Amino acid sequence: MTEKIVFAGFGGQGIISLGQIWSYCGMKEGKSVSFYPFYGAEKRGGIARANCIVSDGAIASPIVTRATSVVVMNQDSLAVCAETLIPGGLMIINSSLVSIAGVTSGGESLDRRFRVVGVPATEIADRLGNQKIANMVMLGALAKRTGALSLETVEDILKSFFPESKHKFVPLNVAAIKEGMGS
């Protein structure tokens, strides 16, 4: 199994953290992983992307030129993700902020060319009490849809990922991940 993922959105949505946590979870589950971030110079609001690969075998390069899955957190990232995703690949969109209506790739509507799954991540995060955890909703949705990671020990993984001063936020992040897995 090799899953090549592009996470894309704008600065402040936790895209880089999402990629780091996805890779860290893969590492803790005994997989080979790579993480390659890309972001604009802006502090918030600029482009943010993370290329991640999780594999049972060796990884030749951390660059994802043809993704098997993409996570699209904002409308502006939709086109670049559609360009990168292989035909039949998994496209998970934050349906709170992204619409595929009228958008095409390769002359086809996105829902015909790809397996598109809409997850209202921002709405779910808002309902849980903090829009900043929309990225964790998407983490859960991606894990469920790809099967690349089990996330069985996600609470322990988050505790080892975050510094102790942030451990008070772990239960909220776990709740967001579970909501994403159930969406």
Query: What is the chain's pLDDT, residue by residue, as a tens digit (183 residues)?
Result: 999 999 999 988 999 999 999 999 999 999 999 999 988 776 666 889 999 999 999 999 989 999 999 999 999 999 999 999 999 999 999 999 999 998 888 888 999 999 999 999 999 999 999 999 999 999 999 999 999 998 888 898 899 889 999 999 999 999 999 999 997
Domains by residue range for the chain, with CATH: 2-182 (3.40.920.10)
H or E stretch at 79: helix 78-84
Please give the structure tokens belonging to residue 25. Answer: 């979870």
CB 15 within 8 A of CB 48: yes
Q: How many angstroms separate the CA atoms of 107 and 104, rounded? A: 6
Q: In terms of residues, how long is the chain?
A: 183
pTM over 0.85, yes/no: yes
